Amino acid sequence: MQQRLIRSLAVIGALLLVGGVMAGGIEFEDPWIREAPPGAPSLAGYMVVKNPSAEGRSLVGATSPAFGKVTLHRTEMEEGMARMVHQERVEVPAGGAVRFEPEGYHLMLMKPVEALKAGDRVEITLRFEDGESVPVTFEVRKDVGAGHMQHQQMQHGQ
């Protein structure tokens, strides 16, 4: 009887974890990194940043022990060419969300310390303008959208 109760509690705990990471009112959903071929100079990280609070928040940077440098990027189309543009800040409006996804905003993860493969977990600390820093665990995955452009083939703009 007691064992069944413990098992139910474990299931509830797991469901809460699936719901996303909560920190300072900001919620990070589905954080993942696209697997890249070994030796790739950079990888891309994606997630959904939700801000259920009544105040707008701005993401201004990120760091990770797994990468030499992490910056905020956005892919923009210019005359039919995809181009990555560095973002000083990404605003997450009150009661809104910003999607980091292929062909849009992404975390540009440069100079990986070691090759990462699907299934690996990496911690990236996201920094907000108000000084709050939030560590988030990202999972490395193979890209599911085969139709997507290869990130490495795009031009880098600053």
Nearer to Cu ion, 84 or 92 (CB): 84
Compute, in degrees rounded to 10, the torsion defined by CA atoms 74, 41, 126, 45. 60
Nearer to Cu ion, 108 or 140 (CB): 108
What's the CA gap between 137 and 154, in Å, rounded? 26
In whole angstroms, the minimum distance from the beta carbon of 84 to Cu ion comes to: 4
- Per-residue binding letters, 108-127, with Cu ion (x by CB under 5 A): x-------------------
The conformation of residue 49, written as its DSSP 8-state character, comes to E
* Token digits of residue 32: 């993942």
How many other CB atoms are found less than 10 A from the CB of residue 40? Answer: 15
* Token digits of residue 95: 């009661």
Q: Does 73 contact Cu ion by CB under 5 A? A: yes
- In this chain, which of 84, 90, 92, 140 binds Cu ion, going by CB under 5 A? 84
Nearer to Cu ion, 57 or 106 (CB): 106
Binding site for Cu ion (CB under 5 A): 73, 84, 108
